C-alpha cells in the first residue's frame, strides 16, 4: 500500500485530536451534573382535609373526566363535546404549545454539533499587461472546491443543557395552559347554559304571574261594579300587573345574550345556533367528592402549569450561572480543492483544518451578572406565584363546598317560602271572589308569591353554578384510580 507524503503525520495528528475530544467529552459528561439546578422547596403546609368537606359522603365518586354528563342533560353534553372540538380559545392554546415545542427544539439544537457542506467553482483570469508595457495573453484559472465544516460548543458547564431544559419545561407549561383554557371554556359554557334554563323558567313564571295578576284585576273590577270596590283598588292592581309585564324584557335579554354566549363558545354565529333549553327542574344534581388536598396538587392544571414554569425558571438560573465560565468551541473543516474537476477527489487534493478555542468573559459592564440576578429574581417570583396558586386552589375548593352547602340550604328554605306563599295567595283569591278579602291582603300575598317564585328559580341556578365551580376548583375530571388486581395481593 502506497503512503502519501505527510499521510502518517496526518493520521497521528487526527488520532491525537480524537483522543483529546473523547477525554474532554468524558469530563463534560461527569461535570455537567454538578451544575444541575434543583427546584426550590415551596415549603407548603398542605392541610389534611377541607373544612367544608363534611357535606360529602364516603360513597360519593370523584369527578369523572366527562363531568358534565353528571347533570344528565343531552343538550349540554352535545354543546360540551362541540366546544372541545371547535372552540377558538382552545385552538389558540394548542397553537401556543406547538410554538413552545418548536422553541424547545431550537434550544436543544445547541447540544448537537452543526455540520454544513459546500461546493464552489471559481473562475478567474489574470491581466494581460505587464509593468514594462508588454502584453501577453493573460492566464485563466479555474478552481473547484468541495468541503464539509463542523462546529461544536462543549457544554462543559451545562449552559446549553439548562437552556434546553428551560425550553422543554416552558413547553410543558403551555400544555397545561391548554388544559386551563379548556376547563375555563367548559365551565363558562355550563354556567351560560344553566342561565339559559333559569331565564326560561323565570319567563314562564313571569307569564303565569301576569295571568294571575290579570285574573285578580278582573275580580277587583267586578267588585267595583258591584259597589264593594274602589278605583284605588283597581289602580293598585294595575300597577302590580304593569310591574310584572316590565320584568319580561330584561329576562328575554338575559336569555338571548346567554344563547349568544354559547354560540361564541362553540365558534358559530348566533344565527346558526339553536338552543332548546328546558327547565332547571330537569337537571340532575350530582354529588362530588373533593378528595384530599394533596391530590389536588396533581389534578389542577394551573398548579401543574406554575410548577413547570418554576422548573423552567430554575433551569434558566443554571444557564445564566454558566455564562460566568469559559466557553469552549471546536470547529473543523475538510474537503477537496483542485484546479481540475477530474482530479478534485484525489488524495493529493484533500485539505483539512481543526481549531479549538476558549473564550473567558473578563469585563462586559455587568451584563452577565445582571442577567443572572434577573433569572434569580424571576425564579423567586414564580416560586411565590406557585405557592399562591396552591393556596388559592385549596381556598377555591373550600369556597365551592361552602357555596354548595349554603345554596342547598337556601333552596330548601326557599321551597318552603314558595309553598306557603302559594297557599296564602290561593286563600286570598278565594276570599276575594267571595267578597270577604281585604284588598291589601290580596296585594301583599300575590307580590310575595311572585317574588318567591322568581327567587326559587334563582336559588336553583345558584346551586348548579356552585357545583360547576366545584368541578372547576378540582381541576375538572379525574382519571379513575386503578385498583390492584386480586392476584397481586
User: DSSP secondary structure string, 342-408?
Assistant: GGTTSGGGEEEEEEEEEE-----TTHHHHHHHHHHHHHHHHHHHHHHHHHHHHHHHHHHHHHHHHHH
Q: Which residues contact 354 (CB under 8 A, 6 or more apart)?
A: 17, 330, 331, 332, 333
Beta carbons of 77 and 189 less than 8 angstroms apart: no
Answer whether 162's CB lies under 8 Å from 319's CB: yes
Average pLDDT of the chain to the nearest whole number: 86
Could you read off the pLDDT of 101-121 as tens digits, one per residue? 999 999 999 889 999 999 888
Query: What superfamily in CATH does domain 45-112+158-324+369-481 come from?
Result: Outer membrane efflux proteins (OEP) (1.20.1600.10)
Count CB neighbours of 428 within 10 A.
Answer: 22
Interatomic CA distance for residues 76 and 81, integer angstroms: 9
pLDDT band at 453 (very low <50, low <70, confident <90, very high): very high
Task: Report yes or no: 450 and 425 within 8 Å, Cβ to Cβ.
Answer: no
Residue 358: pLDDT above 80? yes
Q: What percent of the chain has pLDDT over 70?
A: 87
How much is the pLDDT for 482?
55
pLDDT greater than 70 at residue 489:
no
Alpha-carbon Rg for the chain in angstroms: 39
Contact, 155 vs 32, CB < 8 A?
yes
Count other Cβ atoms within 10 Å, centred on residue 100: 21
Sign, Cα dihedral of 246, 248, 251, 256: negative
CB neighbourhood size of 62 (10 A): 17
Look at residue 481 in the predicted model and tell me its pLDDT.
65
Q: In 3-state terms, what secondary structure has residue 326?
A: coil
Q: What is the mean pLDDT of residues 236-261?
A: 96
Asked whether the CA dihedral 399, 400, 405, 410 is positive or negative, the reply is positive
| Residue 306: burial class (beta carbons within 10 Å; 0-12, 13-18, 19+) | buried
**E strand or H helix at 147, and its extent?**
strand 140-154
Query: Is residue 441 pLDDT above 80, yes or no?
Result: yes
DSSP for 441-452, written as a single string: HHHHHHHHHHHH
Please say whether the beta carbons of 63 and 479 come within 8 A.
no
User: What pLDDT is recorded for position 130?
Assistant: 60
Residue extents of the structural domains in the chain: 45-112+158-324+369-481
H helix count then E strand count, the chain: 10, 4
Of the pLDDT bands very low, low, confident and very high (cuts 50, 70, 90), residue 21 is very low
Do 399 and 473 touch, CB atoms closer than 8 A?
Answer: yes
Is the pLDDT score of 170 beyond 60?
yes
Which tens digits make up the pLDDT trace of 174-219?
999 999 999 999 999 999 999 999 999 999 999 999 999 999 999 9
Name the 3-class secondary structure at 284. Answer: coil
Residue 135 has pLDDT above 80, yes or no: no
Please report the pLDDT score of residue 71 as a whole number.
96
Residue that the C-alpha cell 300587573 belongs to: 241
**Calpha distance 347→357 (Å, rounded):** 29
Question: Could you report the per-residue pLDDT of 454-466, keeping only the tens digit for each?
Answer: 999 999 999 999 9
User: What is the C-alpha to C-alpha distance for residues 244 and 449, in angstroms, rounded to an integer?
Assistant: 12
Q: pTM of this prediction?
A: 0.83
Could you tell me the pLDDT band of residue 433, with boundaries at 50, 70 and 90?
Answer: confident
pLDDT at 33: 39
Pairing mode, if any, of strands 140-154 and 114-125?
Answer: antiparallel
- Residue that has been written with the C-alpha cell 344528565 in this structure: 72
Q: What is the pLDDT of residues 368-415, one digit of tens each?
A: 999 999 999 999 999 999 999 999 999 999 999 999 999 999 999 999
Answer whether residue 486 shows pLDDT above 50.
Answer: no
Structure-block grid coordinates of residue 307? 410548577
> Residues 461, 201: contact at Cβ < 8 Å?
no
pLDDT bucket at 439, cuts 50 / 70 / 90? confident
**pLDDT above 70 (res 485):** no
Beta-bridge partners for 141: 124
Query: Are the beta carbons of 372 and 321 closer than 8 angstroms?
Result: yes
- Please give the average per-residue pLDDT across 417-439, as a whole number: 90
**Per-residue cell: 379:** 425564579
**What is Dmax (Cα atoms) for the chain?**
142
53-101 tens-digit pLDDT: 765 555 567 789 999 999 999 999 999 999 999 999 999 999 999 999 9
Residue 128: what pLDDT?
64
CA–CA separation, 136 vs 123, rounded Å?
19
CA 355, CA 23: separation in Å to the nearest integer?
A: 17
Using N-to-C axis directions, what is the helix angle for 439-473 and 367-434, rounded to 10°? 150
Would you state the pLDDT for residue 227?
A: 84
Amino acid at each position: 500500500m502506497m503512503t502519501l507524503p505527510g499521510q502518517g503525520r496526518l493520521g497521528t495528528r487526527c488520532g491525537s485530536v480524537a483522543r483529546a475530544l473523547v477525554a474532554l467529552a468524558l469530563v463534560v459528561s461527569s461535570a455537567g451534573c454538578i451544575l444541575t439546578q434543583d427546584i426550590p422547596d415551596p415549603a407548603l403546609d398542605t392541610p389534611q382535609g377541607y373544612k367544608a368537606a363534611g357535606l360529602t359522603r364516603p360513597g360519593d365518586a370523584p369527578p369523572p373526566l366527562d363531568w358534565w354528563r353528571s347533570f344528565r342533560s343531552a343538550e349540554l353534553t352535545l354543546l360540551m363535546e362541540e366546544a372541545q372540538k371547535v372552540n377558538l380559545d382552545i385552538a389558540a392554546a394548542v397553537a401556543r404549545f406547538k410554538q413552545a415545542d418548536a422553541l424547545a427544539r431550537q434550544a436543544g439544537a445547541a447540544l448537537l454539533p452543526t455540520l454544513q457542506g459546500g461546493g464552489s467553482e471559481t473562475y478567474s483570469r489574470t491581466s494581460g499587461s505587464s509593468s514594462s508595457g508588454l502584453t501577453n495573453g493573460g492566464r485563466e484559472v479555474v478552481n473547484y472546491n468541495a468541503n464539509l465544516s463542523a462546529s461544536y460548543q462543549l457544554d462543559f458547564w451545562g449552559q446549553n443543557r439548562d437552556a434546553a431544559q428551560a425550553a422543554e419545561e416552558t413547553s410543558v407549561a403551555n400544555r397545561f395552559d391548554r388544559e386551563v383554557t379548556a376547563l375555563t371554556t367548559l365551565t363558562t359554557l355550563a354556567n351560560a347554559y344553566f342561565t339559559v334554563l333559569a331565564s326560561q323558567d323565570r319567563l314562564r313564571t313571569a307569564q303565569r304571574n301576569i295571568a294571575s295578576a290579570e285574573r285578580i284585576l278582573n275580580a277587583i273590577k267586578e267588585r267595583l261594579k258591584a259597589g264593594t270596590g274602589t278605583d284605588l283598588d283597581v289602580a293598585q292592581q294595575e300597577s302590580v300587573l304593569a310591574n310584572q309585564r316590565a320584568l319580561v324584557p330584561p329576562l328575554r335579554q338575559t336569555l338571548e345574550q346567554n344563547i349568544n354566549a354559547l354560540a361564541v363558545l362553540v365558534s358559530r354565529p348566533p344565527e346558526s345556533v339553536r338552543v332548546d333549553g328546558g327547565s332547571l327542574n330537569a337537571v340532575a344534581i350530582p354529588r362530588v367528592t373533593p378528595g384530599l388536598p394533596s391530590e389536588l396538587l396533581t389534578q389542577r392544571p394551573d398548579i401543574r402549569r406554575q410548577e413547570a414554569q418554576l422548573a423552567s425558571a430554575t433551569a434558566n438560573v443554571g444557564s445564566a450561572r454558566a455564562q460566568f465560565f469559559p466557553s469552549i468551541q471546536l470547529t473543523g473543516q475538510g474537503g477537496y480543492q483542485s484546479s481540475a474537476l477530474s482530479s478534485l477527489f484525489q488524495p493529493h487534493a484533500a485539505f483539512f483544518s481543526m481549531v479549538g478555542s476558549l473564550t473567558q468573559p473578563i469585563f462586559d459592564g455587568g451584563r452577565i451578572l445582571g442577567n443572572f440576578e434577573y433569572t434569580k429574581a424571576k425564579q423567586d417570583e414564580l416560586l411565590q406565584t406557585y405557592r399562591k396558586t396552591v393556596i388559592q386552589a385549596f381556598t377555591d375548593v373550600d369556597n365551592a363546598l361552602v357555596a354548595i352547602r349554603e345554596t342547598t340550604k337556601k333552596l330548601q328554605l326557599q321551597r318552603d317560602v314558595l309553598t306557603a306563599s302559594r297557599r296564602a295567595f290561593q286563600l286570598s283569591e278565594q276570599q276575594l271572589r267571595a267578597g270577604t278579602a281585604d284588598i291589601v291582603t290580596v296585594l301583599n300575598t300575590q307580590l310575595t308569591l311572585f317574588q318567591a317564585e322568581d327567587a326559587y328559580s334563582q336559588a336553583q341556578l345558584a346551586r348548579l353554578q356552585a357545583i360547576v365551580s366545584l368541578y372547576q376548583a378540582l381541576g375538572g375530571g379525574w382519571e379513575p384510580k386503578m385498583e390492584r388486581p386480586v392476584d397481586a395481593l
